[in-house]
Amino acid sequence: MLLQGARQIGKTWAVEQFGKTDYEFFVKFDLDRSPEIIDAFKISKEPSRVIKELQSYSDVPLLPGRTLIFFDEIQESEEAFNSLKYFCEDAPEYHIIAAGSLLGVAVRRKNMKVPVGKVNRIEMYPATFREFLRMADPSTFDYVENLQTPEHLPTVIFNKLSSEYRRYQICGGMPEAASLMLDGAGMAEIDAALQDILNLDEVDFSKYAQPQEVTRIRAVWHSLPAQLSKENRKFIYKVIRTGSRAKDYESALTWLVDAGLVYQIFNVSKPSIPLSGYEDREAFKLYACDCGLLRRLAGVKADVIQNRNAGYTEFKGAMAENIVLQALLPRLGGEKPYYWTSEGRAEIEFIIDISGEVIPLEVKAEGNTAGRSLSVYTEKYAPEHRIRISMNNLQENGGLYSIPNPLADWMLRFITRTPDSTKM
């Protein structure tokens, strides 16, 4: 198994918990902290020989089927990365998980070949609001989990969801920050945890990018709040710097995507199957991997969100979109949604393909749903199902599903054609 995801997302912790609770033995080989281990993979491609070499670095027996072997920071060794293929082909009895914080960047930079078909690749994401609510308010979580039809929520449930949703907007889904919020820590501690992650990301720019690219990567990354503060959130290169051109920043943007720090969502000229066939590579939006990191990067203070500051308008919409995207990605199996525009008259924030049905998904930060975008789309394409996310209560009317922002994680279960909808 190859576990991928942004830095500080909890990959190592998750594997360690799994290994210690579900296996008789567990051993971790950290290729970054113990570079001498890399030599074991250079000696031979034969799995049995590699296991013998690794055994000398571990007091834990490396037993087939009984020991979970974890190669952490595997991007530090191309030989270790390639060994996954040979373990799959020649020694599948050994149970191995590999992970790395900037694996996507390393694969592209070193031109490493991913052993397709030889490993199970799993993308790990920040915790969504659903996961946050499960820990923050178990009774409300259970209530929502048992919903089967899109009917109005009781006021007490709606208010609890709204309160926890604002807390999630502040801390986001990075495990340390979310845990601090759940444990009742002060905002200074939560902001410090988020800033530490941002600082580590800055260090990674210098450590893992080509020297000539570092400044441009920082420029794209720090332009993200300004890009998302526009009414039209389409990525504009001149927002980075006056006179900027796509060719100057394309590789920097790709680095951030490969690092898992941003999600790139493309426009479609027509919402038809396959959506990829109508993709416009020149028109896209960038979102942050986590709403808490985005808030901290933008310098939005917690009380602005809690008190619903009147001046917090455009960026509030961007935060709502970012959280919906965070809810969608795990549900779509890593497939990215798209967005749609119509000659400046309308814009649908997300377009998704569910079992061959194209569904428009409009996102509002509050209860005001007066815009005409979804109506324009409906008149043009007559979709069977439409989703509007806002701070209005849950309901369905003629195929239009009104979903409260906090229920973005659950929205697909209400569309009857969604596979295994009761678990969505």
Three-state DSSP at 150 gives: coil
Q: Is 378 exposed, middle or buried (0-12, 13-18, 19+ CB in 10 A)?
A: middle
The span from the CA of 230 to the CA of 259, in Å, is 25
User: From residue 284, how far is each of 233, 341, 377, 383, 413 by CA, in Å?
Assistant: 9, 11, 19, 23, 28
Q: Which amino acid is at 47?
A: P
How far apart, in Å, do the first and last CA atoms of the chain sit? 24
pLDDT score of 51: 95
Q: Is 67 exposed, middle or buried (0-12, 13-18, 19+ CB in 10 A)?
A: buried
The span from the CA of 118 to the CA of 103, in Å, is 17
In the block, residue with structure tokens 């998302």: 228
What residues have CB less than 8 Å from 8, skipping those under 6 apart? 101, 174, 175, 176, 197, 200
pLDDT score of 424: 46
In the block, residue with structure tokens 């809810």: 327
Domain boundary assignment for the chain = 2-123, 129-423
In the block, residue with structure tokens 């998980």: 97
Q: Which amino acid is at 94?
A: Y
E-strand spans in 101-247?
121-123
CATH topology for the 2-123 domain: Rossmann fold (3.40.50)
Could you tell me the pTM of the whole model? 0.90
Answer whether the bond into residue 274 is a cis peptide, omega within 30°. Answer: yes
Buried b (16+ CB within 10 A) or exposed e, 276-295: eebbeeeebbbbbbbbbbbb
All residue ranges of the chain with pLDDT < 70 are: 110-116, 309-311, 416-424
pLDDT score of 247: 87
Q: pLDDT for 165-204, tens place per residue?
A: 999 999 999 999 999 999 999 999 999 999 999 999 999 8
